[in-house]
Amino acid sequence: MTIRTTGSRVPRPTMTDVAKAAGVSQTTVSFVLNNRTDVSIPHETRKRIHQAAADLGYRENVMAQALRLGKSKLIGLVTDEIATTPYAGLIIRGMQDAAWRYGRILTLVNTDCRADMEIKAVETLLKHQVDGLLFATMFHHEIALPPILGDMPVALVNCYSADASAPAVVPDEKQGGYDATCYLLERGHRDIGFLTKDESIPATRGRLAGYRRALAEADLPFRDDRVVAFTGDQEAGFRGAMTLMRQPDRPSALFCFNDRLAMGAYTALQTLGLRVPDDVSIIGFDNQEIIAAHLLPTLTTIQLPHYEMGRWGVDRLFSDIPAPAAHMLLTCPLVERNSVAPLKLSITA
């Protein structure tokens, strides 16, 4: 039987140890390991110092360096619930990829929508000398920034502040609603229902405005009875589609506020014996691939630019290129799949 024993911990190598092993001063070691190019140190000396550090297993104390220089190479990200849901994770991916380009590490705190936790998160990140702060939200809406930020560089992703005190990037909801409706119009549909949610948020207002604009440009009337709004997601889509499809002159196509409503609409149409897209075409919004790519038929939808918004936020913190506007709108591209078909015109003798 082998008995493991634990002795005293081996002291962590210091810069003094590296200097002694390389036969140089601690100041010279500091210049070399911090990549100082403004001092003249022979190549062989630099090489010897790096070799000594590697042999000793020396690792830089980044916290001490952050305190000394006031820079930590960290970016703080404060989110409401993005990290615990599958819907907006590409925001984090975009931020992380951009952070690597600037030689930074992303540090994330998920607050679960608690204001008290958000304040504590910001305080902690500021104490760790982060080089910038990002605030990101699960859905596009207005937020209030904590008053303790001071002159810390800040960027907002998928959200904005009322006073426009920090640069913000959000989806172009109105253009997305317009593009979705135009896609159906271009395929001959002239009677298009809109399934939405009964929440007064930028997304509901913007997508409805885009829908109305597309109808107006096609010289088609806006009908109140073709817009239905319920609470919830799949259930709201089911109830909304049932409401529209039971009208005497049912629409030939549905524009759904998001992919979850579209999923509920699929179920309603199946219940009524109607087929997608043969009898009714459907277009969604968000491109939640866990839904859109696996419905039968697969769902044509408008994609929220989560990845691009995340990358934009980091760029605003560190790029020398000025932002074109304090409130940046990003295009929501169309993802074409199989849930939309050209309108079939019935011909009577």
What pLDDT shows up at residue 63?
Answer: 52
pLDDT band at 7 (very low <50, low <70, confident <90, very high): very low
| Superfamily designation of domain 173-305 | Response regulator (3.40.50.2300)
Intrachain domains 69-170+306-329 and 173-305 with the same fold: yes
DSSP 95-151: HHHHHHHTT-EEEEEE-TT-HHHHHHHHHHHHHTT-SEEEEEEEEEEEE---TT-TT
Cα distance between residue 202 and residue 221, in whole Å: 23
Cα distance between residue 240 and residue 227, in whole Å: 9
What pLDDT shows up at residue 50?
Answer: 86
Cα distance between residue 182 and residue 171, in whole Å: 18
How many Cα atoms within 13 Å fall on the side-chain side of residue 74?
21
List residues bridging with 141 in a β-sheet: 159
User: Mean pLDDT over all residues of the chain?
Assistant: 89
What's the one-letter identity of residue 72? S
Query: Checking DSSP bridges between strand 168-171 and strand 154-161, what pairing results, if any?
Result: parallel
Q: Cβ(170)–Cβ(137) under 8 Å?
A: no
pTM of the model: 0.81
pLDDT band at 323 (very low <50, low <70, confident <90, very high): low
In the numeric block, which tokens belong to residue 248? 């005497």
Domain range summary for the chain, segments of one domain joined by +:
69-170+306-329, 173-305
What pLDDT shows up at residue 40?
Answer: 85
Q: Cβ(168)–Cβ(326) under 8 Å?
A: yes
The mean per-residue pLDDT over the stretch 318-328 comes to 76
The mean-pLDDT minimum among 126-140, 199-213, 248-262, 294-308 falls in 126-140
Comparison of pLDDT for 10 and 184, the residue scoring more = 184
Number of Cβ within a 10 Å radius of residue 25? 11
Query: Checking DSSP bridges between strand 300-303 and strand 334-335, what pairing results, if any?
Result: antiparallel
Based on its alpha-carbon atoms, the radius of gyration of the chain, rounded to whole angstroms, reads 28
What pLDDT shows up at residue 9?
Answer: 56
Tell me which fold the domain 69-170+306-329 belongs to: Rossmann fold (3.40.50)
pLDDT in tens, 223-279: 999 999 999 899 999 999 999 999 999 999 999 999 999 999 999 999 999 999 999
Reference 90, options 286, 316, 229; nearest CA is 286
pLDDT in tens, 33-88: 777 778 888 888 888 988 888 887 777 655 555 545 556 689 999 999 887 777 78
Number of helices (H), then strands (E), belonging to the chain: the values are 12, 12
Number of Cβ within a 10 Å radius of residue 167? 23
Burial class of residue 285, CB neighbours in 10 A (0-12, 13-18, 19+)? buried
Number of Cβ within a 10 Å radius of residue 177? 29
Comparison of pLDDT for 4 and 74, the residue scoring more = 74
